[in-house]
Copies of this chain bind each other. A is one copy, B any other.
Amino acid sequence: MSSIRTPDGSRVYNPLLQPDLRLMLSENDELGLQQFCEVLNPVIVSEVLQGLGPADVWRVLSSIGIERQAEIFELIEPSQQIELVGAIDRQHLSQLVEAMSPDDRVDLLEHMDEEQLEALLPLIAQAERDEIRKMLSYPDNSAGSIMTTEYASLPENISVGEALSRLRQQAPDRETIYYVFMLDEARHLRGVITLRELILARPGVSLADVMRRDLISANVEDDQEVVAKLIARFDLLALPILDDQSRLVGIVTHDDVLDVVQEEAIEDAYRQSAIQPFEHGYLSTPLLTIAWKRGVWLLVLSVMALGTATAVRAFGGTETDTSGSANTNWLDWFLPLVLASGGNTGSQSATLVIRTMAMATLSRRDMWRIAYRELLTGAILGLSLAVFSWGALQLLFGRDWMQAGVVGLTISLVVTMGSVTGSLLPMFFEWLGMDPALMSNPLISSLSDILGVVIYFSVAMALL
């Protein structure tokens, strides 16, 4: 079973039942813990567990069998999964990994480091190990990387009645039995039938006579977006994935498509604001990674803004009266550079924060953490861009180190300020009960423009 994750890779955090759980833990109430895990919906259990430390999570999960443990564990967000994996012995871990469904298992193993993985694999049964190695070999974001191998299949030469009774045996460990695939001996896909069609068909007829032969499928190397589009276009519950010899190797189910669509939507939003997409959620991605993903684009944009400065110098801002040193006409050349730096950084921050808020309810602590992260990121980005501009202004525009310093200092202030206001304004809108998405990138930019002008000329007046 796969699951929808928030941009942070985390499911919704559910603090409602936590006091009960903590009480049971403190009282060593084994039976209570077991019932908690077995009676509640596993999604809810996984959400409540997100509030606990690794040791407590394992105390809770140890009350139940390994199958149910795996079912709940699969629903926990990847970064917490990794933490949890480090807190149990290898024996327990190998059992857990064996019990997980193939697609979630591969997800977990991909997140583990090489060393952990090599220590773990020998403990896993041969058959599963081969499958794991195969699945790990599929490229990132390919059909193979998101499919599961737990599909229901039958030969085509049996009757509908026989098919139903065989399906009953397969059912417990298949991801879905609502689509059943007909395979020949070499596992070539011959046909498909839905459980609905199977139930409606007369028990005596042969599967070959009622199965559908107009098959919609994808190749194991196809991009996950291709898979998502096919499932969406044909309203499928599952899409068969074939290898190059047209053998069935897995299925992708409807719920995985939602993951893909949401992932792509976030990537699109990031690209739209000139942020290089990154794999994990905003809050679980290291600050320097985010700074890098933003910084590369900001640097490109700074280079282009120097083009604008050249144009302003050439056309508008000719230093007609170069007599006095008081002439500060040249400041206007770099006004677009200064304002764009602040506006672009602010837009990036607003986009990151709005996306994060859209997918998960943030606690007050999360909000402070975001503001703090944005302050730091802004400072890092601001300093880097300031140094770049400081050099460029001296080399390309004949400014002295002090004049270049005015622009550099301004950029570092404006970028830091843009990053902070870009993150605070959407949160402020949310707090007002308004839609934070109203804080569009252009709106952030124009607010940042006004502040930018004030900062720019204040710095200039102070230093020149």
B1 touches A453 (CB 8 A): no
| A228-B140 Cα distance, complex, nearest whole Å | 27
A41 touches B457 (CB 8 A): no
- Distance of A451 from chain B, by nearest CB (Å): 9
| Any B CB within 8 A of the CB of A445 | yes
Known contacts A195-B195, A237-B237, A254-B255: A311-B446 contact under CB 8 Å: no
Q: Would you call A347 and B441 a contact (CB within 8 A)? A: yes
Q: Tell me if A445 and B340 are in contact (CB < 8 A).
A: yes
The secondary-structure label for the interface of chain A is helix
> Looking at the complex, which one of B1, B235, B340 makes contact with A2 (CB distance below 8 Å)?
B235
A155 within 8 A of B: no
Interface centre among A3, A167, A216, A453 (most CB of B within 10 A): A453
Name the B residues within 8 Å of A440 (CB-CB). 271-274, 297
A311 to B455, CA, bound (A): 10
Question: What chain B residues lie within 8 Å of A458 (beta carbons)?
Answer: 315
Q: A308-B339, A315-B453, A315-B461 are in contact. List 16 more A-B contacts (CB 8 A).
A: A1-B235, A39-B214, A168-B200, A178-B195, A237-B254, A261-B265, A272-B272, A272-B351, A272-B440, A274-B442, A304-B443, A307-B450, A308-B453, A316-B456, A317-B332, A340-B449
A-to-B contact residues, CB < 8 Å: 1-4, 11-12, 39-41, 43, 164, 167-168, 171-172, 177-178, 195-196, 199-200, 214, 216, 232-235, 237, 254-255, 257-258, 261-262, 265, 268-269, 271-274, 297, 300-301, 304-305, 307-308, 311-312, 315-317, 321, 328-329, 331-332, 335-336, 339-340, 343-344, 347, 351, 354, 358, 435, 437-438, 440-443, 445-447, 449-450, 453-454, 456-458, 460-461
